[in-house]
Amino acid sequence: MADFHQTGVIATFHKLGRAKLEKIENELLWYSKERPIALVLPSLYSELEGRALKNIIHELKKIRYLKEVIVTLGPCTEEEFNHAKKFFSVLPQTTKIIWNNGKRVSEVYKTIKSAGLQLGDTGKGQSAWMAYGYVIAQKNISVIALHDCDILTYNREMLAKLCYPTTSPILEYEFCKGYYSRVTERMHGRVTRLLVTPLIRSLKKIHGYVPLLEFLDSFRYPLAGEFSMTVDIARVNKIPGDWGLEVGILAEVYRNCAVRRVCQVDIADNYEHKHQALSPDDASKGLLKMCIDISKSIFRTLASEGIVYSDGFFKTLIATYVRTAQDMLKRYEDDAAINGLAFDRHEESLAVETFTEGIRIAAEIIMKDPLGVPLISSWDRIESALPDILDMVKDAVDEDNK
């Protein structure tokens, strides 16, 4: 059983004993009559062959409170798209597949781009953003939930716990972030443990009280890809198109939501999905690439809050980060020891060294270009510029799914 300690500025909902799943799902079924729920699944075609997605489909078949499932596919051929339609057709919910590089949806992207609006790069962020547009276009969905398709330990309790805070008219939250532990015979989640948390706390040491930093530091797993939100939030949020996606979404939520309407929920005893390589010698891939993108996202978000950067500031930050990360590394080593887990101090230290380099690279980029690549425009902004665009999105997806 987890503790029930409330920390930070957002509400935290814990796993307190065995969940009464049937009760929660029955309540969701009742609430969803007035507040329909759509589940968005960003998926690569390759994941259709994996064990994780097959189990996710098996679990989703048991869920009655979802009105719709929207699978937004990464680049694929027409043959692969047709196979994906057949693969997901076993779901009992209304299911639509978004063929992001298909002719019809590509025309939507082209129309938006020709209006001078930002689309970001092809990837998970853009793919999820298009799914939000399709949901908004239908005008009959109140809540959007999203989770990845590579979760090896998936069960339907995850989705129920994720949807409940934003669907319940009694709780009335606008955004809910999932959190969990990632442990096998050792601790995982290095980017959260050894980059994001010590970096945010280093910034707090230097800047003192900054409301945005307090907000970010309140999340137990800020890089979790699982969340639910109201459609109104999906309409106004901008979205990053790189590995800064999760942090960037939290920053947008901070801007567009009252903090009391934001929460996090423990959705799993343990969570297992694919692991990224560290790639300490290649800044174009792996965790080093992720570190650079996340660091840039944090720095740019703080700059928009009025934080001023200088070369001296970043030198101080890097020194503070190294000390903070090393102190936290020792805590994790001790935590692993008391739980009988393996702990490779060399590998963990190498991760800290790699992330230090990533922060340094991100700092150089920020000093040269404080704005960077613009976020994907919000649907609110796009609809203002192109009043018929949501109808175009709906028609494109519906035609592809005939």
Q: Which one-letter DSSP state was computed for residue 186?
A: B
Contact between 141 and 39 under an 8 Å Cβ cutoff? The reply is no
Kindly list the domain boundaries of the chain, sorted by start residue: 11-400
Nearest to 43 by CA among 92, 81, 91: 81
Question: 354 near 325, Cβ under 8 Å?
Answer: no
- pLDDT score of 93: 97
Edge-first strand order for the sheet with 262-268 is 11-13, 262-268, 175-180, 227-230, 143-146, 37-43, 66-73, 94-99
DSSP string for 300-364: HHHHTTT----HHHHHHHHHHHHHHHHHHHHHHHHHHHHTT-B--HHHHHHHHHHHHHHHHHHHH
- Phi-psi map region of 372: left, alpha, beta (phi>0 left; psi -120 to 50 alpha): left
Residue 225 in tokens: 């890809």
Count the Cβ atoms, other than its own, within 10 Å of residue 30. 13
pLDDT at 73: 96
**CA angle, 50 then 53 then 59, to 5°:** 145
Q: Which two tokens stand for residue 19?
A: 């969940």
Give strand ranges (E) for 32-141.
37-43, 66-73, 94-99
Predicted local distance difference test score (pLDDT) of residue 111: 97
pLDDT of residue 1: 55
Closest CA to 60 of 128, 142, 133, 158: 158
Backbone angles phi, psi at 385, to 5 degrees: -80, -35
- DSSP state letters, 21-51: HHHHHHHHHHHTTTS-EEEEEEE-GGGGGSH
Q: Which CATH architecture has domain 11-400?
A: Alpha-Beta Complex (3.90)
Please state, in angstroms and rounded to a whole number, the distance separating the CA atoms of residues 211 and 110: 38
- Using alpha carbons, list the distances in angstroms from residue 45 to 70, 74, 78, 104, 307: 14, 7, 11, 19, 41
The pLDDT of residue 347 is 94
Task: Enter the DSSP assignment of 261.
Answer: G
Amino acid residing at 337:
A
- DSSP class of residue 223? T
Query: CA dihedral defined by 132, 138, 142, 144, rounded to 10 degrees?
Result: -30
pLDDT averaged over 10-residue windows placed end to end, the chain, 402 residues = 84 88 96 97 93 95 97 95 96 97 96 92 89 96 96 94 97 95 89 96 95 96 95 93 82 95 92 76 84 92 89 96 97 96 95 96 91 85 96 97 93
How confident is the model at residue 2, as a pLDDT?
67
What global pTM score does this model have? Answer: 0.95
Separation CA 394–CA 89 (nearest Å): 19
Rounded to whole angstroms, the Cα distance separating 26 from 30 reads 6
